[in-house]
Structure formats: structure tokens, C-alpha cells
A = this chain, B = another copy of it.
């Protein structure tokens, strides 16, 4: 099937979530939308692929967090999405603000623009049916907001519902009202009545319609976004924006909304480990094991292992997710409570919710192998052709031993080249820059010594990634 890529069709991808309900695999610095679960493409990539047949890459806009600058830049480049179409939110402000900002920026450029607003962390299984539903929404939205409504497959309590009203001649429904997540009894009634649909969070409307709705329902936000016309200006207005959800701020307050029924598209918001687990294929005992797992007699158990050996004996209805610094073991029907664990970690100012032990950097990654009083040992991996910043440290010295690949190192006024089994020493205060001068990954062991060994102690003098403020 092929669709017309109308020049005024735009995609607005919402990719700023922290994905806390997928902890410990999801971390603030590497959230759900960028994860490759079960060795598949990331949810972000899949979202792009899903709408690419309607919309040309230059018409994709991505609203994301400042934190994901490098991930999103890499992924967007891969699809030919222009870097200036990425809008970085300085902080999270819920969903109304990013949609308003994107509508304004796109409207400034193309007053006839029609926008598909898509969350980037959902699943859609049936691409054909999804395409048909989205195409429908694009055709019929006119002067309204069109929302995809999913016929409910079970009385889910984790989703918001749309109550469909009159069926119109065009085959779409007027929306009667929106309902927040119901309790189980109410959800059962919803499903039975056949009048309620899951709220997919996928909206289609012209930029003009979106802006008109903001003007009517959240006039303050409307006035704020009027001040900008590109993503670069966001800093001017962002601080004063009040966080509010698009559902609460707009959907629940307008009558100008229609619903396109999107049946059989295999949609899930993957809002919990259990929701994710439900869509996975299991063996005849209901188990799914990934990684280094030894099982004896477990049933209905999903275990996502890691390098570490995981021995499961006689388990039932559990989800186990192992990462190098944290392991989650949860009864399937309690998996939503992961959010409480994350809240606790935030509260205790820990780091297990924030980053993985392997921390990605635009030039590669590092992994802390060990640390103790006055020392820290890292495995530093630099991608071919990449360089860290030219920098120095005020408080620490560094021993470097190359174990794989080729390094070019600026050290004070010298330039040296190192290969595996060669080493150098960078004393406190010495300007240095590490580059990968080979065609494979460069790996080196860095042993830091000093009284303060935080990441904050980097004074950058030159940087290829715009990290000097």
C-alpha cells in the first residue's frame, strides 16, 4: 500500500519521557523510547518508520529533553531528519507545552501544516492497519482534532478511555467525553458497552486548529508560544510555562474533536513491565528468558538477564530484570509499583534510576569498573574518529593503559600515539585530549587518583559536541 506524502503533513514526535516504569532497564539518561528491547529496533526508531510513508523526513519535528541531545541527533540523522527540527525542552513540562511549541514553530513555517502528534514509546504491531487509520485521520480531521481510538481488548485500568458519540457520515465518531483511568469494575462496564475506546495519545490536526484550541483553553500558554518561531528560542519562554497535560488542558475542554476507530492495530502504551510482558511470545510453560538464565521448573516467568548468571527455581508469575547495578524482581501484577522504587531512589539521591553503569557520551562511553578511597577505575571506549574535549582536571591525575585500538593523545605540548599494552600518565592540571586514531573502537583503562573524582571536575577548552558553556 502506498500513501500520498502530502507536502503539508508533519510529524511531531514526543520523545522527552523518562520511562521510569521500565526501570531498571530504563534510566533517566537512557529512557524507554531509546531502548532496544529484545534486540529489536528502539521504540523511537519504530515510531519514525511507522509514519515515514506519509511524511517526508524534513517534516519530522521532535520534541525531547536536553538530556537526549546526542541520542536524538544520532537517530534523527539516520533518517535524514534535519537537526534544526529537534526541539530541546530545558525541563519536562508535561504534554501540552511541547505540542503548543511544535504547532507554533511549524505554523510559522507553513500555515497550512497538518500535524500527526505521536508518542515515541508506544507499540503498534499491525503497520497496515495503523497506516489506514492514520491516513483516515489525516483525510478527515479538517477543522477538528482527530484522535485514534483503540477498541479495548480487555478491561485495562492503566489507560484513559474515550466515550464515542454520534457516528458521522464520514465513518468517524464525534467524541462524547474523555475518561481518566477507571477502576476494574468501571473498565469492565466500558468494555461491555462497546462505546468506549482506549485513548492512544495519537492526535492529528492542522497547526492552526491546535493553536486555536490552545488560544481558547490555555490562553496563557498560547500567548507564550506566540513569542517564538524556531526551536532555538524555546529558552525565552520555557521557564515560565506551567506544566499541564494535553488531555487535561485541551481534550477535556473542547467539543471540536473526532475519533477515528483504529481496530486491530496491536497498540499498547507499554506502560509497565506487565504491559510489555503481555505482548511477548512465551514458551509452553509461559516463560521467556533472555540472557544467561538457568531455569528449573519456573512457570509464567519472564527473566531478562545480563552478563551475570541467573538461576530461577520454581518461580511463578514473576518478572526479573537484571542490570549490572540493580535487579528488579516483581510479581507481574505488581509491576506498576516500579515507579515507587524509582521515587525512593530519587528521594535518597541515588544514581541507579539516573544512569547505567555504562554511561554513553557523544564520543563513546565509559564504565566505572571499581572505585575506592582516592581512586576510580574506568573502561573508556572511544568511537572511531571521535575525540573527547581538550580538557584538564583540577583535582585528579589519570593513568591510561590502552587495551584495544589506537589512541592519539595531546598531552601538554606533545602529541603521542599509543597502542594496546602502552600507557601514559596525565598529571593534575595537564591539558590533554584523547582521540581514536584507528578504524576500530579504542579501549583504554583509566585509573584516576585524587581527593575528588566527580565528573564535574572537567575544565573543557575545546569540544566537538558544543559542551562548552
The residues of A with any CB-CB pair to B shorter than 8 Å are 24, 294, 296-297, 308-316, 318, 320, 322, 324-331, 333-335, 337-338, 340-341, 344-345, 350, 352, 367, 369-370, 372-375, 377, 379, 397, 399, 401, 403-404, 420-421, 423, 425, 443, 445, 447, 449-450
* Beta-carbon contact of B379 and A377 below 8 Å: yes
A323 to B322, CA, bound (A): 12
Name A331's contact: one of B313, B370, B399 (CB within 8 Å): B313
Which residues of B have CB within 8 Å of A294? 341, 344-345
* Complex Cα spacing A340 to B294, Å: 10
Tell me the bound Cα distance from A345 to B335 in angstroms.
31
- In this complex, which of A308, A329, A420 has the most chain B Cβ atoms within 10 angstroms of its Cβ? A329
- When distances are taken between beta carbons in the complex, the residues of chain B under 8 Å from A320 are 329
Question: What's the Cα separation between A57 and B396 when bound, in Å?
Answer: 52
Chain B nearest CB, measured from A448 CB (Å): 9
Contact pick for A329, options B312, B333, B369, B401, CB 8 Å: B312
B334 contacts A311, C-beta separation under 8 Å: no
A-B contact pairs, 14 of them (CB 8 A): A294-B344, A308-B326, A310-B329, A313-B337, A313-B341, A314-B330, A314-B334, A315-B318, A315-B331, A374-B404, A375-B404, A377-B445, A423-B423, A445-B445
Q: Select A401's contact among B297, B312, B338, B447, beta carbons within 8 Å.
A: B447
CA distance A449 to B402 in the complex (A): 9
- Chain B contacts of A447 at CB under 8 A? 401, 403, 423, 445
Contact: A313 with B327, CB < 8 Å?
no
Q: Which single member of B334, B350, B352, B375 contacts A313 (CB below 8 Å)?
A: B334
Q: How far is the CB of A347 from chain B (nearest CB, A)?
A: 11
Q: Which residue of B lies closest to A323 (CB)?
A: B308
How far in angstroms is the closest Cβ of chain B from A379? Answer: 5
**B325:A375 contact, CB within 8 angstroms:** no
Classify the interface of chain A: helix, strand, loop or mixed.
Answer: strand
Q: Which residue of B lies closest to A399 (CB)?
A: B401
- Is the Cβ of A311 less than 8 Å from the Cβ of B421? no
> Would you call A334 and B401 a contact (CB within 8 A)?
no
* Whole-angstrom distance between the Cβ of A261 and the nearest chain B Cβ: 36
Contact A334 B296 (CB under 8 A): yes
Q: Contact check: which of B340, B345, B350 meets A296 at CB < 8 Å?
A: B340
A369-B370, A404-B375, A447-B403 known; A311 vs B296 contact (CB < 8 Å): no
Minimal beta-carbon separation of A399 from chain B (angstroms): 5
Residues of B within 8 A of A324 (CB): 308
In the bound complex, residues from chain B placing their C-beta under 8 Å from that of A399 are: 401, 421, 423
Assembly CA distance A375 to B370 (angstroms): 17
Residue on B with the closest CB to A23? B311
Contact yes or no, B445 A421, CB < 8 A: no
Contact B404–A373 (Cβ < 8 Å): yes
Residues of B within 8 A of A322 (CB): 327
Q: Are A333 and B314 in contact (CB under 8 A)?
A: yes
From B309, B327, B397, B443, A352 is in contact (CB under 8 Å) with B309
- In whole angstroms, what is the CA distance A248 to B459 when docked? 73
User: Hey, which chain B residues are within 8 Å of A315, CB to CB?
Assistant: 318, 329-331
Assembly CA distance A401 to B24 (angstroms): 33
Q: How far is the CB of A454 from chain B (nearest CB, A)?
A: 17
A179 to chain B, nearest CB (A): 28
Residues in B neighbouring A341, C-beta threshold 8 A = 294, 296, 311, 313
A373 contacts across to B, CB distance below 8 A: 404
Q: Chain B contacts of A24 at CB under 8 A?
A: 309, 311
Residues of B within 8 A of A352 (CB): 309
In the complex, A337 Cα to B328 Cα: how many Å?
23
Closest residue of chain B to A341 (Cβ to Cβ) is: B311
Please name the residue on chain B nearest to A328 by beta carbon.
B311
Contact present for B372 and A337 (CB under 8 Å): no
Cα A445 to Cα B369 in complex, Å, equals: 11
Cβ–Cβ < 8 Å partners of A337 in chain B: 296-297, 313-314
Q: Which residue of B lies closest to A375 (CB)?
A: B403
Tell whether, in the assembled complex, residue B330 and residue A311 are in contact, meaning their CB atoms are under 8 Å apart.
yes
Rounded to whole Å, the gap between the CB of A227 and the closest CB of chain B is 44
Bound CA–CA A423/B340 (angstroms): 46
